[in-house]
Amino acid sequence: MNIQTAQQRVKDLKSFYKNCLWFGIVALIIFFRRFMKSGDLSQSLFSGSVILTVWGIILAVKAVKLFVFDEEWENKILEEEMKKTKKPINF
């Protein structure tokens, strides 16, 4: 991994962790507000928020991109593809 790639990965990780922190803060605010309005904890926890659902899906996709399909995975797949030899066709 070269220095530019490492710097970009650190920048992406920092952005992801910030987004996770803000997601948690906003989710707590929404759930606390719903709890204060309804007074029922189960209703406030299980009544979904469209914003939080979409935001959660986006965070999940970013997490998969950062932690599963990272540069090491790409290099591994690239090496496997390059190792496959195709025999030339003799006419």
49 φ/ψ angles, rounded to the nearest 5 degrees: -115, 130
Residue 23 lies in a domain: yes
In a domain, 21, yes or no: yes
Digit-coded pLDDT (tens) for 69-84:
877 777 787 777 777 7
In a domain? residue 91: no
> 51-55: long-range contacts at Cβ-Cβ below 8 A with a sequence spacing of 24 or more?
51/26, 52/23, 52/26, 52/27, 55/23, 55/26
Using a cut of 0.75, tell me whether the model's pTM lies above it: no
Domain that holds residue 8: 3-83
Instruction: Give 27-41 pLDDT, tens digit per residue.
Output: 888 888 887 877 766
In a domain, 13, yes or no: yes
Q: Is residue 88 assigned to a domain?
A: no
57 occurs within a structural domain: yes
The total of structural domains in the chain comes to 1
Quick check: is 33 in a domain? yes
Whether residue 1 has pLDDT greater than 70: no
The answer as to whether 89 is a domain residue is: no
